[in-house]
């Protein structure tokens, strides 16, 4: 596998993470919209039931893209444990940011401007980011390991000196 062919692995993982983030965010956005529509009687009328999945999907996709960019900066020589732990850490950070974005938008749409979006971060954002960061961190570790093995196999199969090439 050449260097050009190996580049698709991190890109494929990033695409997967963004799509997974959008799906997870959309699901949690739908649940959050139910909370605002049915669980908070002080919430005013508005498009909250429609905005929940949309804001959740957009914030989840953004979180997946940000996580992928941040993990791409990690050294390719990092150990598997470091890759997974950093993936969890960044997952918590971007999951919390996505939760703040989602609930801030829903609060504005519902007419509740009291800052309670920050309460949702430890309840929803941190666990969702931790779980997603854990799974995607393991996937990132697998991609890095596969890339390392392919590079080692190529370097072992390629002669590097003139004597090996019959010169």
Encoding tokens for residue 10?
């991190």
How far apart (Å, rounded) are the C-alpha atoms in residues 90 and 111?
A: 31
How far apart (Å, rounded) are the C-alpha atoms in residues 75 and 72?
A: 8
Classify residue 52: in a domain, yes or no.
Answer: yes
Classify residue 113: in a domain, yes or no.
Answer: yes
Classify residue 47: in a domain, yes or no.
Answer: yes
For the chain, the domain total comes to 1
Confidence of residue 88 (pLDDT cuts 50, 70, 90): very high
- For residue 135, the enclosing domain spans 3-151
Which are the contacts of 131, defined by CB distance < 8 A and separation ≥ 6?
91
- Quick: pLDDT tens for 17-44: 999 999 999 999 999 988 888 877 666 6
Classify residue 161: in a domain, yes or no.
Answer: no
At which residue do the structure tokens 């997967």 appear?
16
Classify residue 162: in a domain, yes or no.
Answer: no
Tell me: pLDDT of 162 over 60.
Answer: no
At which residue do the structure tokens 């749409």 appear?
109
Classify residue 166: in a domain, yes or no.
Answer: no
Classify residue 54: in a domain, yes or no.
Answer: yes
Tell me: pLDDT of 166 over 70.
Answer: no
Classify residue 156: in a domain, yes or no.
Answer: no
Cβ atoms of 109 and 48 closer than 8 Å: yes
- Quick: pLDDT tens for 115-126: 766 787 888 889
Nearest to 111 by CA among 23, 21, 51: 51
């Amino acid at each position: 596998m050449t260097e050009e062919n190996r580049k698709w692995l991190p890109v494929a993982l990033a695409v997967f993470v963004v799509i997974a983030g959008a799906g997870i965010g959309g699901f949690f956005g739908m649940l959050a919209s139910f909370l605002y529509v049915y669980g908070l009687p002080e919430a005013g009328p508005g498009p909250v039931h429609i905005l929940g999945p949309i804001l959740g999907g957009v914030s989840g996709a953004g979180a997946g893209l940000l996580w992928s960019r941040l993990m791409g900066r990690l050294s390719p020589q990092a150990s598997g444990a470091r890759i997974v732990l950093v993936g969890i850490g960044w997952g918590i950070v971007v999951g919390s940011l996505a939760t703040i974005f989602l609930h801030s938008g829903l609060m504005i749409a519902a007419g509740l401007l009291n800052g309670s979006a920050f309460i949702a971060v430890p309840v929803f954002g941190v666990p969702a980011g931790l779980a997603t960061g854990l799974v995607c961190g393991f996937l990132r570790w697998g991609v890095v390991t596969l890339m390392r093995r392919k590079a080692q196999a190529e370097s072992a199969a390629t002669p590097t000196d003139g004597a090996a090439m019959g010169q």
